[in-house]
Amino acid sequence: MKVGFLQFCPQRGQVKENLRTIIGLIDGQECDLWVLPELCNTGYLFSDPDEAWDLAEEIPSGSTTEKLAEISVRNRSAIVAGIAERDEDQLYNSSILVTPKGDIFRYRKLHLFGYEKEVFSPGDREPEVFNIGRAMVGMMICFDWYFPETARILMLKGAQIICHPSNLVLPYCQKSMPTRCIENRVFAITANRIGSEVVGNRELVFTGGSLIVDPLGEVLAKASEDSEEFKIVDIVPKISSDKKLTRMNELRSDRRVELYGELLRNGDSDGSE
């Protein structure tokens, strides 16, 4: 199975142009699963929630979703892409997964980073795993990586590949994705963006370095920090279903859920302060 990421520089507010860039780069490529960056159609910074509102779209009726769904069917490629979603009176930082069979799945970012809280509502649903025929696929978006719970839940729900649209500005994620893969024995595809954005007194520089990591933490492909590029690698998703770490250790059954389930649910415990 061929999986890839597309790393590029979305232009702020230029949905049509960004879509044209994406299609120009991926259309016709042989790739079974593409991952594109977070908010890859709108850019990251909005002047105000109204601007985000105008640029966001409904799923599945919006133009980005429709167009990528069409490309997905034509190229026989599943595509994961981060987009701004409008649903009734709420905005979400979402990703879609469109498949050659015509399925359109969605995930809404659970952990909003900094200024996103001024624009988006946090995801209101459990992370789910989707069957795309050749693999079981889960999605998380950018800062979600920081919380080990996100990838853990996806693994427990059967994800073999975690698709990870991102707009990373900090340097930690790229170094830590191998750990996320090792601890869950999954593949992960982080598609980060490049370039910078300035709105008012906010200036952000995105860190590129998109990467594909295997279940043993090996980096199979890595992009530069600042250039537009895509990489496609061949993987065998089902190796991630083998959770045996040694003859006597299995990643899931070795978890001591009877001792830590309640504790992890308790977000208010902070004995130190």
Q: Give bridge partners of residue 82 from the DSSP assignment.
A: 95
Q: Give bridge partners of residue 232 from the DSSP assignment.
A: 4
CB nearer to a second copy: pick between 183 and 228: 183
As annotated, the active-site residues are 38, 109, 142
Instruction: Note the maximum CA span of the chain.
Output: 57
CB nearer to a second copy: pick between 69 and 163: 163
Residue in this structure with the two tokens 């370095």, named with its chain if needed: 209
CB nearer to a second copy: pick between 15 and 106: 106
Interface with a second copy (CB under 8 A) = 110-111, 113-115, 117, 122-123, 125-126, 129, 136, 143, 146-150, 152-153, 156-160, 172, 175-176, 178-180, 182-183, 217, 241, 245-249, 252-257, 259-273
Tell me how far, at minimum, the Cβ of 200 lies from a second copy, in Å: 15
Tell me how far, at minimum, the Cβ of 208 lies from a second copy, in Å: 20
Find out whether 123 and 117 touch, Cβ atoms under 8 Å. Answer: no
Residue in this structure with the two tokens 């299609």, named with its chain if needed: 23
Tell me how far, at minimum, the Cβ of 229 lies from a second copy, in Å: 26
Tell me how far, at minimum, the Cβ of 248 lies from a second copy, in Å: 5
190: its two tokens: 């982080």
Tell me how far, at minimum, the Cβ of 31 lies from a second copy, in Å: 22
